[in-house]
Amino acid sequence: MSRIGKLPIEIPAGVNVTVQDNIITVKGAKGTLTQTINPELTIQIEGNQLTVERPNDEKQSRAQHGLYRSLINNMVTGVSQGYQKTLELVGVGYRVSNQGQVLELSLGYTHNIFLAVAPEVKVETKMERNQNPLIILESADKQLIGQVCAKIRSFRSPEPYKGKGVRFKGEVVRRKAGKSAAKK
């Protein structure tokens, strides 16, 4: 049996989970999330615990057992606590600002980059003197916030020689040595 798939999911107070026609809906204080699940899997809700069960031990069923349990757990955590990611812009002259849901990034290119962020993601930017600019993203949807972070990082991913680029706060970039001086 799957180690992850067999674990029960604790449903906290204030979170409502409904299953109808292979669609699971999770409602909570931070919002509502829906996910289509494999019709072969069965979901049992008993009190404040939810379990995912598979019909057989075929490879496909085993793989989806753990997958859908993790997706449902992420949904329950998202609507109860939410997810927050902080991105840091490391580099001379790198700036960021936002007008509502539109991010304006200045990352050393000849033009500024404008990115419209989904309305489900709350965007906040911080620019303080003598500190790297920060982008703070909050959402109930873990997949969506990860996708937005990946898109922002793709504009200028961290490079190993000077360490410049967009990185997660606290992320350590492995540095490489540059060219050595020519020997005589």
Whole-angstrom distance, CA of residue 69 vs CA of residue 183: 59
| Residue 173 maps to a domain | no
Whole-angstrom distance, CA of residue 52 vs CA of residue 22: 12
Whole-angstrom distance, CA of residue 135 vs CA of residue 148: 11
Quick one: 92 and 61 in the same domain? Answer: no
pLDDT at position 179: 84
Q: Per the structure block, which two tokens stand in for 115?
A: 């990115």
Confidence of residue 183 (pLDDT cuts 50, 70, 90): low
The CATH number assigned to the domain holding 15 equals 3.90.930.12
Which one of 80, 95, 113 terminates a domain? 80
Quick one: 88 and 76 in the same domain? Answer: no
Quick one: 149 and 76 in the same domain? Answer: no
Which one of 80, 102, 125 terminates a domain? 80
Which one of 48, 80, 112 terminates a domain? 80
Segment 80-135, tens digit of pLDDT: 999 999 999 999 999 999 999 999 999 999 999 999 999 999 999 999 999 999 99
In the chain, the number of structural domains is 2
Q: Considering only CA atoms, give the Rg of the chain.
A: 21
Whole-angstrom distance, CA of residue 61 vs CA of residue 38: 9
| Residue 42 maps to a domain | yes
Segment 121-175, tens digit of pLDDT: 999 999 999 999 999 999 999 999 999 999 999 999 999 999 899 999 999 999 9
Confidence of residue 181 (pLDDT cuts 50, 70, 90): low
Containing structural domain, residue 68: 9-80
Quick one: 120 and 76 in the same domain? Answer: no
